[in-house]
Every structure is written in C-alpha cells, then in structure tokens.
C-alpha cells in the first residue's frame, strides 16, 4: 500500500514537471510576425516640386476609420465581426501608406498636374480630402476599399463622391491580400483622377 502511494505521488510530480517544461517551451517560442507595405504604384512620378506652367492639387493626409488605425491587418470574418491580425502587421501606419500611394497614383494619372501630398501648401490649389471606412479582407474572398473623397476650393466644396471597390483574392494568405488591397486602392485612385479631371 505504501509503495503504491509513493508511486502515485512520484508519477504526479513527474507529470506536473513535464507540463511545466512544455508550457515554458511554448512560451519561449513566439510566432514571428510579418510586416507588409502596400505595393508601389506603377510608373509613379515624383511630385516634389510644383510645376510653374500647370495646375496643382494638394492631397491632404488620408483619414482611416479608428478600427483600421492599428498595426494589425484587418479581416472581416462575418457581416458584423472584424479581427485585426496579431502576427501580420502593417510596416507603417496605414493612413500614411494610403496618402503616399494615392499621391503617387494621382501624379501619374494627372500628368499635367503637380500633386502635393507631403504637408506642403499651394496657394489657390484645390485640396483633396479622403476618408477610408473599409480597407480589409472579407470572408467571401474579396479585398474591400470603401469611403468618401471630397474636393475643395478653399473652404468651398466642389465635389463629393463615395467609393466602394472590391477585388477578388487570387490566392490565400496575407501577401495576396495586401497586393489585392493595393490593386483596389489603385482603382480608387482611378476614380478620383477621373472626377478631378472632369471638374477642371
């Protein structure tokens, strides 16, 4: 009887020690995170200086919804559930990336226009405000970019448009999602460039 009790206690102690070692090992092996940037706009031109002989456009910093204003890339899991990734992160604040990519794309699409998006001001130039309400992967295999843009002449609103672009993901994984979100943002830039051109 005594031998049986000692064996049970020894076996229990060994199991507890093994469990503790296993948990320590798991805690020490953190999953490495991956960081992503939106792809560069193709054939973008520099907008560092204002052209003396052409029109100008000031792109104000893109505003993103508060749930997008974080490191984790957002996935929409259902019609009401959103999840920000813990290991798949933006390498730079999303609003800054969107502002820079938009400036590059508009500079390329509006060839006769100097696009300024670095905090500079150009007296008399129209100003573009963009707010993003959705910029995420969706449960149905789509990348979604949605929001609103406004064009101002000083304090006067010239033009206001909503945008909602969806692009299908060609494969699974965050790299494919980020590339597809970049394509969707390029389509948003196309829409804005078309609207600005028509208004001039």
Per DSSP, the residues of 5-73 read HHHHHHHHHHHHHHHHHHHHHHHHSPPPPEEE-PPPPTT----SS--TTSEEEEEPPPEE-GGGSSSEE
| Same domain as 85, residue 25 | no
Same domain? 68 vs 23: no
How far apart CA 135 and CA 95 sit, in angstroms, is 11
Residue with tokens 């984790």: 72
86 & 173 share domain: yes
Closest CA to 34 of 76, 74, 90, 114: 90
Structural domain for 15, as ranges: 1-30
- Contacts of residue 135, defined as CB under 8 A and 6 or more positions apart, other chains included, come to 64, 68, 74, 94, 98, 144, 145, 146, 181, 185
40 and 79 both lie in a single domain: yes
Do 1 and 40 fall into the same domain? no
22 with 38, same domain: the answer is no
Residues 131 and 109 in one domain: yes
Same domain, 24 and 69: no
> Are 156 and 189 contained in the same domain?
yes
Count of structural domains, the chain: 2
Q: Are strands 113-116 and 127-138 parallel, antiparallel or unpaired?
A: unpaired
Pair 112, 195 in one domain:
yes
Which pTM value belongs to this model? Answer: 0.79
Q: Write out the chain's pLDDT in tens, 200 residues.
A: 444 443 344 333 333 333 333 333 444 456 789 999 999 876 544 433 444 446 899 999 999 999 999 999 999 999 999 999 999 999 999 999 999 999 999 999 998 899 998 667 788 899 999 999 999 999 999 999 999 999 999 999 999 999 999 999 999 999 999 999 999 999 999 999 999 998 87
Shared domain for 26 and 40, answered yes or no, is no
């Amino acid at each position: 009887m005594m031998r049986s009790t000692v064996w049970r206690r020894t076996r229990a102690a060994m199991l507890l020690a093994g469990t503790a070692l296993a948990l320590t090992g798991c805690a020490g092996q953190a999953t490495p995170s991956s960081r992503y940037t939106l792809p560069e706009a193709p054939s973008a031109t520099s907008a560092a200086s204002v052209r003396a002989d052409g029109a100008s456009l000031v792109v104000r910093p893109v505003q993103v919804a508060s749930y997008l204003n974080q490191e984790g890339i957002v996935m929409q899991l259902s019609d009401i559930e959103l999840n920000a990734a813990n290991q798949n992160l933006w390498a730079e604040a999303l609003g800054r990336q969107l502002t820079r990519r938009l400036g590059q794309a508009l500079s390329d699409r509006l060839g006769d226009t100097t696009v300024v998006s670095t905090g500079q001001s150009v007296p008399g130039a129209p100003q573009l405000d963009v707010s993003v309400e959705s910029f995420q992967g969706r449960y149905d295999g789509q990348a979604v970019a949605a929001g609103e843009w406004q064009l101002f002449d000083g304090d006067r609103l010239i033009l206001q448009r909503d945008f909602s672009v969806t692009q299908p993901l060609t494969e699974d994984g965050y790299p494919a999602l980020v590339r597809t979100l970049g394509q969707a943002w390029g389509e948003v830039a196309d829409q804005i460039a078309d609207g600005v051109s028509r208004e001039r």
